[in-house]
Structure 1
Amino acid sequence: MLKELHTVLPAADLKRAQSFYHDALGLDPDEIHEGTLVYHVGSGSVFEIYETSNAGTAQNTQMGWITDDLDAEMSGLRERGVVFEEFDIPGMKTENGVVTAEDMKSAWFRDTEGNFICISQTI
């Protein structure tokens, strides 16, 4: 039976990615292996970043975070240099970086390696 989710993200430059996750998100890896950083966050959530030349090629959300206050999270991230994506496609239009649906609002940004990261809040 599936029990826990473990996200894996690619990075072309592992040191650059580590700096981004530290400086922008305030996260430091709990484990460092050759070519891999492992982060334990929240209650049982784990993600790792590994070095590879195919980083930045995905055009979809690769990791999502849940927050109780999207506006505050975005404000803090913007202060640390994070730029949120703007979308105007059928079924999805952002206002100030935020898409609002019936029961959720979400915002996306890219890390230094081109990975799409989403932050969402239930409303």
Structure 2
Amino acid sequence: MNAPDAMPLAGARVATRLPARDLDRARRFYAERLGLEPVDERPGGLLYRCSGMEFALYRSTGASAGTFTQMAFEVDDIERVVSGLKRRGVVFEEVDVPGLRTTGGIAAIDGNYSTKGYRAERAAWFHDSEGNLLGVGEPVT
């Protein structure tokens, strides 16, 4: 087996795609609540860019179960970001399960991403207008 075949996706770019039953409703949510505007649009899809990374919303007849994080935004100040999003009408999940509890919508997660040099992460979650569960995380070094 030659080197390119050994790890065929190792050099690939990750392309996040989130389903949306109603693209107009999703566009309004992402603009009004998150302050994001699409950088490109095609029939059935909206492309967004944040800090050089991209994600897309696509028209889908299916819906997300919304029971797990589908995409997350890494931020430097989670308190400021969560507070700002709450002012814009974003509702954060409150979680209280063994090993994970939010206070004011924010959880402390010990040991997350230690291989990246972090000792923990602070995280918060919310659903978009289409039921996708999105996260906000701040690495703790």
**Is TM > 0.5 for Structure 1 vs Structure 2?**
yes
Please classify the TM superposition score into its range, dividing by the shorter chain length: over 0.9
- Provide the aligned length of Structure 1 versus Structure 2: 122
For 2:73, the equivalent position in structure 1 comes to 65
Report the Cα distance in structure 2 between the residues aligned to 1:24 and 1:3, rounded to whole angstroms.
31
Counting only pairs closer than 5 Å after superposition, residues 11-90 of structure 1 correspond to structure 2 as: 11-43=20-52, 45-90=53-98
Runs of 4+ in 1 over 4 A off after TM superposition: none
The answer for unaligned runs of 5 or more in structure 1 is: none
Q: For the residues of structure 1 that align with 2:55 and 2:72, how far apart are their CA atoms?
A: 11
Amino acid at match of 1:47: F
The one-letter code of the counterpart of 1:29 is P
Structure 1 match to 2:137: 120
TM-score by length of structure 2 reads 0.82
TM-score (norm 1): 0.93
Q: CA RMSD in A?
A: 1.1
Closer/same/farther in 2, CA of residues 58 and 75 from structure 1, 3 Å limit: closer
* Percent identity of equivalent pairs: 39
